[in-house]
Chain A
Amino acid sequence: MEFVISKLIPAAATFLILFVGMAIAIAVGNVSGRLIRKILGIGGN
């Protein structure tokens, strides 16, 4: 029980925050990528 509270829960919370952060980054990357191409007037991917 002590192991779950002291190790597993903090590790799981850390993973979760990191995953959420990465998901946000990917979303921001996609949106900004499209926006940059639109502003620069270039097509493609």
Chain B
Amino acid sequence: MDIPLLGLMYLPISGVEIMAWKLVLLGFTVGVIGGFFGIGGAFMVTPALNVFGFPMAYAIGTDMAHIAGKSIVATAKHRKFGNVDMKLGIIMIIGTAIGIELGAAFIMWLEKVGRVDAVVRYVYMVLLFGLSSYMLYEYFKLTKGTAGEKKVVSDVGKSGLAIKMHSLKIPPMVNLPVSGFAISIWVILIVAAITGFVAGFLGVGGGFIRMPALIYVIGAPTRIAVGTDLFEVMISGAYGAFSYAIKGRVELIAAVVMLVGAAIGAQFGTLATQYVKGLKIRLYFAVTMLLAGVSVILKHIAGTYKNVYSPELNSWVKAHPQFLEWAQAEGAKFSPKVQVRDWILMNKEAVKGWFAQQSDVIQQAKAMEAAWNNYSGYLMLGVACALSALIIVKMLQGIKAEKRLKGSS
């Protein structure tokens, strides 16, 4: 049965056909997670869209547009709950912008000197595993009881590093009443610039680095870190969405459909932060990062198969008369690497024909690359569905417990 508005839809920009309910569901799950963790969630949406048949370039652009809209809804909600430290957020944005520019410039330099893709993937893996391991270590350290019983810790705002940062009295000092402490502006700017640099280098929004940095380095309480990070995601997402839209990389209909799901999901995620303990938010976040790291490993395996055929495919494209004509008409809008990638995307039939003429080794490598990319995408899709369900269940349990408490008092 075809459900109106949720049935099969054709997306004219990328030429993809997809069931609309898949986009609504994906938007909803990532909306719950984004509102709960204060992140954009691109590391989940992009591979999932790729699994749904979106070419990677369109998956990133569409994801950016949906993140921008979703974070507006989630930030507004967090602000109502008093979870957004605007002063801290605005200072962070300045440092982040500088950092992102430096990170992007560093990537350009790396592209000139050598193979950048593998380096970026390795850094990404180290960061995801490093961050999740540290957060898991902190969680178990704080909840481990001396007599075998678990301590009840709802939130622990200040790590040892954060206390050291607060003791640095380099003027000008900024008083942050919402977060509940004063800190040197230079500490905020430097932390923001470093996280921005990493985000620019990896080509991601950076919420997954900024949120832990706000907790462990700046010393913000978990809920404030979530709300303030979302405020930043909102600004960077809007900038990214418009930038990708101008380049024609946003599948607008898909982005709007996902946004509707995300707007509802963000309500659940934001509300859940009021009923789930701060320390538990950190635990779920750490596990998510760990699984995201596994997904990057799967993607890396797919990349090794791509390396088998990509040099030959690229040389074939570069020598193709239609490509030469098209690239000349396009001018220097994009780098030659991006032009080759775009041409491959637009000429699927010609590329398919090329693959059909190649050896079994190349054809097998292509099939294996697609399979490993799918494993990675399905893993992230599974994580998004399972995690959002867990967050909603925990929220409902929290509401029930609160009602029971009110009833008994």
Interface residue ranges, A against B (CB under 8 Å): 10-11, 14-15, 17-18, 20-22, 24-26, 28-29, 32-33, 36-37, 40-42, 45
A20 to B65, CA, bound (A): 12
CB of B245 within 8 Å of the partner chain: yes
Docked-complex contact A21 and B242, CB < 8 angstroms:
no
Docked-complex contact A18 and B267, CB < 8 angstroms:
no
A41 to B264, CA, bound (A): 17
By a CB distance below 8 angstroms, the chain B residues around A11 are 245-246
The A-contacting residues of B in range 250-305, CB under 8 angstroms, are 250, 252, 255-256, 259-260, 262-264, 266-268, 271
> Chain A's nearest CB lies how many Å from the CB of B407?
12
Given A18, A33, A36, A40, which contacts B255 in the complex, CB threshold below 8 Å?
A18
List 11 additional contacts besides A22-B69, A28-B260; criterion CB under 8 Å: A14-B250, A15-B242, A15-B245, A18-B65, A18-B68, A18-B255, A26-B69, A26-B73, A26-B76, A36-B268, A41-B403
Docked-complex contact B77 and A33, CB < 8 angstroms:
yes
Docked-complex contact B70 and A14, CB < 8 angstroms:
no
Q: Mark interface residues in B72-95 (1 if CB within 8 Å of A CB, else 0).
A: 110011001100000000000000
Give chain B's interface secondary structure class.
Answer: helix
A22 to B68, CA, bound (A): 8
By a CB distance below 8 angstroms, the chain B residues around A32 are 263-264, 267
By a CB distance below 8 angstroms, the chain B residues around A26 are 69, 72-73, 76, 263
Given A17, A20, A21, A33, which contacts B267 in the complex, CB threshold below 8 Å?
A33
Given B242, B255, B399, which contacts A42 in the complex, CB threshold below 8 Å?
B399
> Chain A's nearest CB lies how many Å from the CB of B367?
36
A26 to B75, CA, bound (A): 11
Docked-complex contact B81 and A45, CB < 8 angstroms:
yes
Docked-complex contact A14 and B245, CB < 8 angstroms:
yes
**Could you list 20 examples of A-B contacts with CB < 8 Å?**
A15-B245, A17-B252, A18-B242, A18-B245, A18-B252, A21-B252, A22-B72, A22-B259, A25-B69, A25-B72, A25-B256, A25-B259, A25-B263, A28-B260, A28-B264, A29-B77, A33-B77, A36-B267, A37-B271, A42-B399
Given B80, B241, B242, B403, which contacts A45 in the complex, CB threshold below 8 Å?
B80
Docked-complex contact A21 and B259, CB < 8 angstroms:
yes
Docked-complex contact B246 and A14, CB < 8 angstroms:
yes
By a CB distance below 8 angstroms, the chain A residues around B260 are 24-25, 28
Most buried by A among B267, B268, B396: B267
What residue of chain B has the Cβ atom nearest to residue A17's Cβ? B252
A42 to B255, CA, bound (A): 31
By a CB distance below 8 angstroms, the chain A residues around B76 are 26, 29
Docked-complex contact B246 and A28, CB < 8 angstroms:
no
By a CB distance below 8 angstroms, the chain A residues around B246 are 11, 14
What residue of chain B has the Cβ atom nearest to residue A27's Cβ? B263
A28 to B268, CA, bound (A): 13
Docked-complex contact B263 and A18, CB < 8 angstroms:
no
Docked-complex contact B267 and A25, CB < 8 angstroms:
no
Given B256, B266, B268, B399, which contacts A21 in the complex, CB threshold below 8 Å?
B256
A42 to B272, CA, bound (A): 12
A25 to B400, CA, bound (A): 29
A26 to B77, CA, bound (A): 10
By a CB distance below 8 angstroms, the chain A residues around B72 are 22, 25-26
A11 to B246, CA, bound (A): 6
Q: Mark interface residues in B22-65 (1 if CB within 8 Å of A CB, else 0).
A: 00000000000000000000000000000000000000000001
A25 to B69, CA, bound (A): 7
Docked-complex contact B255 and A21, CB < 8 angstroms:
yes
A17 to B76, CA, bound (A): 21
A19 to B95, CA, bound (A): 27
A37 to B262, CA, bound (A): 17
